Structure 1
Amino acid sequence: MDAHPHTAAPAGVLLRQLAPTLAGHLVDLLAAPRGLDRPLTGVVIAEPDDAPRPEHKDRLVLLVGARGTGALRALIAAGRSGATAVALRTGRDDEREALRQAAVECGTALFGVRDQARWEDIGTVARAALDALDLGPDLAGRTRQGDLFSLARTLAALSGGAVSVEDPANRVLAYSRSDDGVDEVRRLSILGHACPENYLKVLREAGVYERLRGGELVVDVPERPDLGTRRRLAVGITAGGRFLGTLWIQESTGPLAPHTGQVLRGAARLAAVALLRPFGGPGSENGLREDLTAGLLSGRSPAAALAGHLGVSVDCGATVVAVEPHDPGHGDDRDTGLRGDRCAEIVALHAAAHRRTAASARLDGRLYVLVPGGTADRGLTAWTADLVTTLRRHLGTPVQAAVTATVPRLADAPAARTEADRILAVIADDPGRQVATYDSVRAAVLLNRILDVLGDHPDIHDPALDELAAHDRRNRSDLCGSLLRYLDAFGDVKTVARRLHIHPNTLRHRIRRAVAVTGIDLDDPQQRLVAQLHLRAARTGREHGRSV
C-alpha cells in the first residue's frame, strides 16, 4: 500500500505541540528517545510490509493493519526512514515492551493506539491539529468566521456585555454588535481590527496576557477612568497547550450577568474548536463534534468515533440531557428556525462551560447534551435547571428538559436518548415543570411503556370495558372517566367528587352504574388493575379504534 502523505505542515511544528492533542484521543506516548523537539511535517499511512521510504522522514506514520510484534519490521523501517513518530496497536504488555525497545533503538517516538480508537479518527485529529498549528499569524484568514461571530453574539446576549475574539497577535477575529455603552478602546479595536497599542501596553505591564496564556483562568480587568476604559473579563483560548487567542467581554451600560465567568470559559472552549477546525472542514452548521454526537445518539455511528474525538474511554459511563423548546404559538417558520439556531448555540455554550468533554447535538427538533463520565447527580440537574431558565429568558419560548439515569457505557447513549424522550413525554402536559429526572418520573415512564404495549396489541383488552365505552358514546356520559378517577384515588369518593365538581352521591351512582354495565368486581385487585390500565390506555388514545 502506498503512503498517503498529508499536505506538509511547516518545519516549525514540533512533536511537542502535537503530542498533548493525540494523547487525549485514546493514544499513549510510549517512547520519545530523541525528545519532543523534533520537526513534524505531516501524517502518512503505511502497511506492515512497507520498506523504508523517504516520504516517511519527519512524518507521523500511522501503521495500520498489524499489532504487537507483527509490526516490529515496519516500525524499524519507519525509524530508519527518519520518521518523527510511529503510531500502532501494541498488543500485549510483553509485546508493548518489545516495540518500545525497538523504537528507542531506531530513534523514533512511539504512540500506542488503544483498541477502542479508530485509525480514521486518529488521522483526523492529527491532521486537524497540524492544520491549527500551521495557522500562526494567518489565524484570522483561516478560521471559521461565521462560527466565531455567532458565538460572540450568543455570549453577548447571555452576559449583557460586548464581546470580541482576538488572535494571538491581538487582531480582532469576530465581535458582537455594539451599543452606546462601549468605550473608545472597543470602538478603535473594531474599526482598526486590532487592539490599540497603548492599551496593549497597559495590559502587558499588568501581566494580563501572561495570565491569559496559562489556561482557562478568567481575568478581571478593572475599569480605567484615566484611559476611558470600562471593566472587562477575559479568558485565553487554548488547545493542546497551544495558545490560540483571547475572548473578551466589556461591561456595557449595566453590570454583567451572574455566572458570566463560567459561561465565558465555555465560550472559550467552543472558540478553540472553531479555531482548530480545518478551513473547509465539516459542514457550515455543525462541526465534527456535533456530527459525531448526533451520529452516536441516533445509532448511526459507533461510540469509538466520538470517544476518540472527546478524549474519553469508550467504556466510560454517560448521561444524556434532552432539551425541548416548545413552539410559543406565534411567528413564522423563519422565526422558529432562528429560535432553534439560537437555542442550539446557547445549549452548546453552556454544555462546554459545564464540562470540557460534554457535547451537544440537535436531532428532530430537540437538543441533546451528552455528558461522558460522571453521574446524573444533583449538580447536573441544577445545571440543567439553570440552562432551562436561561433559554426561557432569552428565547421567550416554553422550554422543558429531561435528565436520564447514567448508562454504563458510551455505546449505550442511544438508549439514554430514548429514555430522555420518554421523560419529556411524561412532563409535556405539565408546562410549568421545567426539569425532570428519570428517578422523579420513573413510574410514569414505565406505565407509558406498558400502555404502548397495549396500544401495539389491541387484542389484549377487556370486552366488558369496551362495552362501558360504547355505553358512554350512546348516552353521552362519562362513566369511563369517573371510574378511572375513582380507581386512581383508591376509592376516595369525596376527593374525586370535589375534583369533578359533583356531589359524592352522584359519583357513587356513576360507579354503581359502571359496575352494572361491566360486571367487574371492584373488590378484586386484579380486575381493578386491568380496568385502570384499559381505561388509561383508552384515554391516552393508545388502543387502536377506542376512545373514551
Structure 2
Amino acid sequence: MTVAMEQHLGVATGRPRLAVLVDRGDGGEGDVAGRDAHESRHRTGNDPTAPGTLGEIVATVGSQVLEVVTAPRGVSVPAARTVIWDPDGEVEIGPGDVVLAVGVCPTSPAFVDLLDRSARCDAAAVVVRNPAGQTWERHGFLHWNIAVLSASRSVTWDWLHDAMRTATSPHAEVDGPENAGDLFALADAATMSLGGPVEIDDRGLRVLAFASLGHELDELRTSSILNRETPSAAVEWLRSSGVMRQLRESRHPIRVSPPGAKPRLVAPIRVGVEILGYVWVIENDEPFGKEHEAELAGIARAAAGILLRQRVYGTDVDARVRESFLRAVLDGREAPEGMAAASGFDTAGPVRLVSCTLAAGETAEPADLLYLRNMVGLRGAALTTGATVIAIGTRIHLVAPCRDVSVAAAKRLAHDLITRAANQLHLDVVVAVGEDVDLAGLPTSRHALDRVLDLTAAGQGPPIATESDLQSHTVLAELREVLHQRPHLMRGRLSMLAESDRTQNTEYIATLRAYFEASCDRARAAQLLFVHRNTLRYRLCRIQDMCGLDLEDPVERLVTELQLRLGMTA
C-alpha cells in the first residue's frame, strides 16, 4: 500500500488510527446515508451494562494500548470520569476517576505526588506513559492502594482520553486500535488510493463495508449496498462462469466483467487456505494496471487483519480482561491474587505454559500470526474452559490449568498445531511445553520456554520440546547471556590461539574443539580432524607451550570447553 494510504488507514496496517479525514465530494450523500444506516444496526440495541470497571476499560480500549501495571484492589474497581492531570491548573480529582498523567514521568517525584493525591481522593487509577526502554518496577506503587495503568507510546493522549471517555459512557462503542469494526476506514482509504468505489464482502458475499467518495456507482453496486448482499443473479453468474472457483484458487486480484455492469478488480481476503471475504473495486474511465492490482492485494491483506481481529477478540470482554492480566503476569509485573480473581483467571491449582513461534527463516504476515493465535486459542479451548491465549511479538503463549492439560495433552496439542500451521498457513512452527507452575512462576516459565524456542527454532532441538528435553542446552544459553553481560569472563588463553589461527593459518581452535568433542580421546580427535595422531599430539603440545593451557587440569579443561561451546571464540 502507498505511504499516504498507510498514514490514512492506521488501524488496518497495525498502527493506531488517530483520525480519518475524508473529502467525500459531491454526490456522496447516498453512500453516507447507507453507511449510517448500516452502522446504526451495530450501535443500537447494545447491552445496557456499560463498561464501568478498570478491567472492562482495558478490555474495551485494548490491551495493546492500555495495560495494568498494578491493581492492589483488583480490576473490578468502578471507574467514573477520565480526567487529564494538569500540575499547573486546578484539576479536581473525584472518587472513581481515571487520571491521565500527561507530561509526568513515572520515575519523577511529580508522579509520586500525583499517586498520593489520587489515592487520597479515592480515584480508580492513574494512567502514565509507558517508559521507553525501561522495565516497570512495582516497588512503591502498592503504598497508595491505587491502580497504575501503562499507556502505549503509539497513541496520543487526546486519542486515549476520547477512547477511555467513550469506554466509560453508556451504550458506547470505542473505535480503537484493537477494535475490529474499522472496515469502513479501510474502504475509504482504498477508494482514495485506487480511484474507484470499493466494497468489502464476507465470504458469503454479504456487504461488510463500502465507500464511493463521489465516484459513480453502477446498478449492481447500488443493489448490493441497498440489500446488504450481492444480488442472486450476480452470485449465480459468478458461480456458473467459474469466477468463484478462480477466486478460491487465486492469491492475487483478478479482473471480472459482470453482465450489465462495469469491469471490476476483485481480491480474495484470505489467510492461508481460508477465505474470509472479498474486496471489489469498480474500474472507472482509466483501466487498472499492475500497480492497482498490487495495491488491491495489500488492501485485502489489511482487511484480513481486521476480520481476524474481530474473530479473535470479538466482544468477549472477559477474555480480553484475562488477556490483559496474563500480559502483565508474563512481563513479570507480579499481580495480587485479588486481581487474578477479578480478571476471572482460574487460580485453582497449578497452570502450564505452552508457547510457539515460527521456525528460523520463516516470515509471516500480521494476519497469519493472528490466524495462528486464533488456532492456538481454539485448540486450547477444546482441551479446557480455563485456557487463555496471548500473542507477544511473534510468540504465542497459552496458559491452561494442569488438571486439564497434562504434558502428554500439551504435546498432542502441539503436534496438531504444527500440522495445521503447515497445511493451512504453509508455515513451520515450533512449540515448547512448560512445567507445572503457579501464577507467580509464569514469568520464569516464560523465560525458560523462550530459550527452548530459540534453540528449536534454530534447528538445535525437536519441533516439540519441554524444558527438561533441552535442559543442558538451555543452561548453556543462560551461561551465554551471563558471558555477554560480563565480557571479562571471556578473557583467557584462547585469545592467543585465535590470533595465531588468524595470522599464521594454524588450526589450534579447531584442534581443541575436536579434542573436547572426542571426550579427550586423542585417537578419536585425530579421526575427526582427518590428521595423524602424531600431528594431533604435536598441536596439543604447541598449544600448551604457546599459552600455558594445561589440558591435564580438569578445571582448565572445563573453562576452556565452556568458552568454546558458548561460541565466545571464533
- Normalised to the residue count of structure 2, the TM-score between the two structures is 0.44
Q: Which has the higher contact order (CA 8 A, sep 6+)?
A: 2
